[in-house]
């Protein structure tokens, strides 16, 4: 089994609507060809946070949505829901950019809109936790600050080791490395500190292996997953840097995808931590 528990396709009407929306948005984006480069990876980061937050708000003990729309925010439907929303905004911004002759600002504006929506959703999550009497800022803060430190040190080490690579990927690399650092650190906090079981089989297998090591009684089991995530993130950046220069559009989109598979689940963890009292 390679899929996380809770992975299930939505009912057929939702599946058809999401599939049609995904195809339509993709076709429009291909037709409009908005500028895509490393800065686009940065602009897409808030939308990755939005996806993770939307999914978290659909899980116990939150379950914020009405039953009629809840299937849109399960796994994997939330990825497509977020993409359709993001794509729609991207298409509208592209239209305005072309009309005004400033299509170079599309990525910037996409990031600004995403940051605004992200902020609203995170505030909503915090207010919901406060009203339920479960608000805790300790574990989310520990996860985010810990990830910032780990990602910063990793990026510094990578820059000292392969300076030209990090210079070439100076916008995308920090996003990718931080995304996977946050996923690793938040998972480790959940497993070692809070006692939350891991739903995804691969992280669970890695931490189960770490549990057989002599270090388990001293530093826990999450450290190995953090290490694996960082090695994979840095490895992807190193492997992709030449392709990113040769094919900036495809390379940027691939790095954005790599960042999304880390940042989305990581934010899901952090938002759920808001509802776990210390």
pLDDT grade for 6, boundaries at 50, 70 and 90: low
Report d(CA 187, CA 265) in Å as an integer: 9
**Residue 43 pLDDT:** 97
Residue 278 has pLDDT above 80, yes or no: no
Question: Which H or E run includes 28?
Answer: helix 12-32
**Residue 231 pLDDT:** 97
Can you give the length of the chain in residues? 278
Residue 1 has pLDDT above 80, yes or no: no
Better-predicted residue by pLDDT, 119 or 3: 119
Mean pLDDT for the stretch of residues 16-36: 95
Strand blocks (E) in 168-266: none
**Residue 134 pLDDT:** 83
Q: What angle do CA 218, 219, 225 make, to 5 degrees?
A: 145
Mean pLDDT for the stretch of residues 115-139: 92
pLDDT (tens digit per residue) in 131-187 = 888 888 999 999 999 999 999 999 999 999 999 999 999 999 999 999 999 999 999
Nearest one of 52, 110, 74 to 260, comparing CA atoms: 52
**Residue 248 pLDDT:** 93
Residue 101 has pLDDT above 90, yes or no: no
CB-based contact 51:78 (threshold 8 Å): yes
């Amino acid at each position: 089994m390679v899929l996380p528990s809770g992975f299930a396709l939505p009912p057929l009407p939702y599946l058809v609507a999401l599939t049609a929306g995904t195809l339509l948005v993709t076709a429009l984006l291909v037709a409009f060809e908005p500028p895509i480069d490393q800065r686009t990876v940065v602009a897409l980061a808030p939308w990755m946070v939005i996806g993770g937050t939307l999914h978290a708000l659909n899980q116990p003990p939150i379950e914020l949505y009405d039953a009629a729309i809840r299937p849109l925010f399960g796994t994997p439907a939330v990825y497509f829901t977020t993409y359709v929303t993001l794509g729609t905004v991207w298409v509208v911004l592209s239209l305005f950019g072309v009309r005004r002759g400033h299509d170079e600002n599309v990525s910037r504006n996409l990031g600004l809109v995403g940051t605004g929506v992200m902020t609203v959703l995170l505030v909503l999550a915090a207010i919901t936790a406060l009203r339920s009497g479960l608000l805790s800022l300790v574990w989310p803060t520990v996860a985010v600050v810990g990830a910032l430190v780990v990602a910063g040190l990793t990026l510094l080490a990578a820059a000292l080791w392969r300076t030209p690579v990090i210079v070439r990927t100076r916008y995308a690399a920090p996003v990718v490395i931080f995304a996977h650092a946050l996923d690793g650190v938040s998972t480790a906090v959940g497993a070692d500190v809070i006692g939350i079981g891991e739903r995804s089989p691969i992280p669970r297998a890695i931490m189960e292996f770490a549990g057989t090591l002599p270090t388990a009684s001293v530093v826990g089991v999450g450290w190995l997953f953090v290490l694996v995530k960082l090695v994979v993130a840095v490895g992807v950046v190193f492997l992709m840097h030449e392709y990113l220069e040769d094919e900036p559009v495809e390379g940027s989109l691939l790095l954005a995808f790599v960042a999304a598979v880390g940042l989305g689940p990581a934010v899901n963890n952090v938002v759920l931590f808001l509802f776990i009292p210390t």
